[in-house]
Chain A
Amino acid sequence: MPPKDDPETAKLKQELQALIEQCKGKQKSVADTTLEAATSSVEDIPRIKASTRRMLKGHINKVTSCHYSGDSRHLVSGSLDGKLIVWDTWTGNKIQVIPLRSAWVMCSVFAPSGNYVACGGMDNMCTVYDVNNRDSSGAAKITRELAGYEGFLSTCRFLEDGKIVTGSGDMMITVWDLEAGKKLDQTPAHVGDVCSMSLKVEQNIIVTGSVDRCIKLWDVRTLKCTQTFFGHEADVNSVCFHPSGTAFVSASEDKTARLFDIRSDQQVCVYRPPTANSSLTCCSVSQSGRILLAGSDDSTVHLWDLLKGEHNGNLQGHENRITGLSVADSGLGIATSSWDNAVRVWG
């Protein structure tokens, strides 16, 4: 028999349960309609016609991530071959190949300015490279090597050229000042690995998804959690803000993608592929917010009408698991990375 709780712990546990019920009750009381019902009058959209416009070949091992620069033209990809490649997606040319000190790269991101790229993974570090300056060997200069993680680096985002926020396997989110090379703030974020994050710069908020199946919203200035969202039944692999800023989408090991609304504080839609037998690894939204895209273990990117919940087809071409998905800010291109060693640009 486990030991009995002391009176204070027992009281807290009771209050916890009561608060959980209170939250559920309040969410239910504002759920005066469903997404499908509210959008029933919206016209259906035709089948999306997008195809591979560029095959970016160069990596010689699984590509684990890709991310557009703010110019909607340049893209960075990271691969287990121990390289970052910066591409010009319009011509398909490689602009730079950056050899990494560790091949176990799990995330690679571009600063919106296009001046820096950051990456990290099983080396438990986040390394920032200056795209415009080379070191004596001709490779992109390392601006900062950020150590101090007790777990792998799973995700990061530049808040500005001099500031980066990261999510890691030690369940923390950390904000770094890149000029000083120091941690500005850090907080335990989840009760499992932080897998993914998405940033809304204008509103100073980030959303994080975790192995603990929860999604949390944070004020990036204080690193205080403002809301927690439940719904997924397994690891949340990816989260992405809806361009409206009032909602976000997520993709999970539970083979669904979901839409969560921030101000009504709840999940408002579940999206399932016609044969839901593969995890969804990454997600994003088209520029207008009408199309939800999610990369899958089944090698395709699934598309849904975000407003009506209906599956709209797939982007087919990759030959293995899709690991990363990035929609250019301009909406003119969608990039995908895969275990088939390739990066594709669709449009």
Chain B
Amino acid sequence: MSNLQQQRLVVEQLRREAAIKRITVRQAVADIMKYVNDHQQDDCLMIGFSSQKANPFREKSSCSVL
């Protein structure tokens, strides 16, 4: 592909990218915050394991068959 053809493609791509619809940062951040808020209480990294049963790394106690 010639330099000129490449240049044309780059400009065409940039025309497409310039034309996209953009929302405000305020709206974008609000949506991210909402998602995080909705999921934060289930995030093990933040709240730890909800119970010992939920902790996959716990020491497994031995079972005895009665």
Contact = CB atoms under 8 A, between A and B. Distances in A.
Contact of B33 (A31, A32, A42, A264): A42
A225 B55 CA distance: 41
B39 A288 contact: yes
Contact of A242 (B26, B32, B57): B32
Interface residues of A, number: 61
A22 B18 contact: yes
Contacts of A289: 32, 35-36, 39
A246 interface: yes
B46 A290 contact: yes
A102 interface: no
Contacts of A35: 25, 29
Contact of B25 (A20, A33, A290): A33
A247 interface: yes
A263 B7 contact: no
Interface of B is mostly: helix
A268 B22 CA distance: 14
Nearest to A259: B32
Contacts of A268: 25, 28-29
A323 to B, nearest CB: 21
Most buried by A among B4, B25, B26, B40: B25
B34 to A, nearest CB: 8
Interface in B38-66: 39-40, 42-46, 48-49, 54-57
Contacts of B22: 26-27, 30, 263-265
A332 B44 contact: yes
Interface stretch (A10-18, A77-85, A273-281): A10-18
A320 interface: no
Contacts of B11: 12, 15-16, 19
Nearest to A53: B57
A286 B46 contact: yes
A287 B29 contact: no
Interface stretch (A44-52, A62-70, A133-141, A231-239): A44-52
Given A243-B39, A288-B39, A331-B45, A33 B56 contact: no
A243 B35 contact: yes
A288 B33 contact: no
Given A9-B4, A54-B57, A268-B29, A20 B43 contact: no
A162 interface: no
A9 B8 CA distance: 9
Interface string A221-262: 000011110000000000000111011000000000000010
Nearest to B57: A53
A12 B56 CA distance: 59
A290 B48 CA distance: 14
Given A45-B46, A268-B25, A307-B33, 16 more contacts: A6-B4, A12-B7, A26-B18, A34-B25, A38-B29, A48-B46, A226-B17, A227-B17, A244-B36, A288-B46, A289-B36, A289-B39, A332-B56, A333-B57, A347-B56, A347-B57
13 contacts: A6-B4, A16-B10, A19-B11, A19-B15, A33-B26, A38-B30, A48-B45, A89-B56, A90-B57, A264-B25, A291-B46, A307-B36, A331-B43
Interface of B: 3-4, 7-8, 10-11, 13-18, 20, 22-33, 35-36, 39-40, 42-46, 48-49, 54-57
In the complex, the 3 A-B pairs of residues with the closest C-beta atoms, listed nearest first:
A288-B43, A244-B35, A288-B39
